Structure 1
Amino acid sequence: MTQQEKFDQVFDLMKVSFPESEYRNYKNQRKLLSDPRYYLLTEENNQGEVIAFLAGWEFADFRYVENIAVSPSIRGGGIGKQLMNRFMRQSTLPIVLEVEDPKDDLQRRRVRFYERLGFCLGEYKYVQPPLREGIPGLPLRIMSYPEKLTASKFEQVKDVLYREVYNVHQVSNSSK
């Protein structure tokens, strides 16, 4: 399978796994592949089709999981855990990811999934900048591994994510 075909399958899985506001359009998502800090881990079935992926970033001081998704027909079978463990083993750097505030059952299950892997739910306010034109920012929480972020470390992580992932340049200020 070519890289283009693999990317197309990842993007199709992204579309069925996330609301449109939580991923870039095709052109902007594909453009990320040319950034050496961005990469995709995939799991394929016996036919070579992508059934799960993890999109991550590697920065100087930490790694960031931007997206992880498993084909809806096989969710709950441990593939997401395998991908996360693979990502976690590839580096000794701390890891961060974004989750929704755990207000409903599905959101709480997602947080518990990451907590079982050793992640800590952060307490600082965080808004994911828009990934598409005309869509508002998304209030989220940061989870971190292997330990909870201090206020100053949270600000450093937020500044890098805003600048490098979301192309937003702003003065940071910490709030709980």
Structure 2
Amino acid sequence: MLSPHKITSTDSPLFARVDALYAQAFPWHEQREAAAKTEALNDPRSALEAWFDGEQFVGMSGSWRLGEMLYIEHLAVDGTLRSKGYGKILLAELLTRAPLTVLEIDPLTTEIAHRRLRFYESMGFIANPWAHAHPTYHQGIADHELVVLSYPQGIDAAGYQRFNEGLCGVVMGLKQPSP
């Protein structure tokens, strides 16, 4: 069983370790800027967590509680520990936190994206048919298209709208949802 350690400040001794994995695991256009990281840490709906197997740091998650929904914004396992089952264990722990969990993956244009989809499907996620653009993390670049997955069931149009409003309004702090 893995143990999560919630990070509430950039001054936390674990923040640098989690932030280094975050920077390594996600492309720049999928990363929050420094001020946005601090804002997220200050929001009680947000949980940035370092995950450990005993004393061994294995990964990180960034998630948001949006009503009855858990949105997993970021999830990464230390590259030296991949293919050892930690991703499944970490994700299984997160799935116990809410009756509905939502996350996004890249469009299915590469083999890596297809492998990610197969991983999430093996955990019970459903790919939803809604056209979706994640709001940009950086001024001057466009929103990026992603595929919305949900667990344990798909989401209807109203459920997608609730998710997108939470993503845009709460997670990204925008006044209007992306189209």
Distance 1:2 1:153 in 2: 28
Alignment map for 1:107-126 (pairs within 5 Å)? 107-126=113-132
Q: Which amino acid in structure 2 is aligned with residue 143 of structure 1?
A: L
- What is the Cα-based RMSD across aligned positions, in Å? 2.0
Could you tell me which residue of structure 2 aligns to residue 66 of structure 1?
A: 73
Q: 1:37 deviation in Å?
A: 0.6
Q: Summarize the Cα distance change of 1:155–1:15 in structure 2 as closer, same or farther, 3 Å threshold.
A: same
Q: Secondary structure at the match of 2:72?
A: strand
Q: Which runs of 5+ in 2 are unaligned?
A: none
Q: Percent identity?
A: 26
Query: Is the Cα contact below 8 Å between 1:155 and 1:172 reproduced in 2?
Result: no
* Of 21, 33, 49, the match for 1:25: 33
1:23-48 C-alpha deviation (Å, 9 max, x unpaired): 112332133111111112322366x4
Distance 2:90 2:25 in 1: 16
Would you say 1:11 and 2:19 are equivalent positions?
yes
* Of 89, 99, 103, the match for 1:82: 89
* Of 55, 62, 85, the match for 1:55: 62
Alignment map for 1:24-43 (pairs within 5 Å)? 24-43=32-51
Q: Secondary structure at the match of 2:14?
A: helix
Distance 2:177 2:106 in 1: 23
1:144-167 C-alpha deviation (Å, 9 max, x unpaired): 111111112111211111111112
Q: Summarize the Cα distance change of 1:139–1:35 in structure 2 as closer, same or farther, 3 Å threshold.
A: same
Would you say 1:164 and 2:164 are equivalent positions?
no
Size of the alignment, in residue pairs? 171
Q: Which amino acid in structure 2 is aligned with residue 139 of structure 1?
A: E
Query: Is the Cα contact below 8 Å between 2:47 and 2:63 reproduced in 1?
Result: yes
Q: 1:112 deviation in Å?
A: 0.8
The structure richer in strand per residue is 2
Distance 1:172 1:49 in 2: 39
Deviates more, 1:26-35 or 1:140-149: 26-35
Distance 2:177 2:57 in 1: 39
Distance 1:34 1:170 in 2: 22
Q: Which amino acid in structure 1 is aligned with residue 44 of structure 2?
A: P
Could you tell me which residue of structure 2 aligns to residue 136 of structure 1?
A: 142
Query: Is the Cα contact below 8 Å between 1:44 and 1:51 reproduced in 2?
Result: yes
Q: Which runs of 5+ in 1 are unaligned?
A: none
Would you say 1:105 and 2:111 are equivalent positions?
yes
Q: TM-score, normalised by structure 2?
A: 0.87
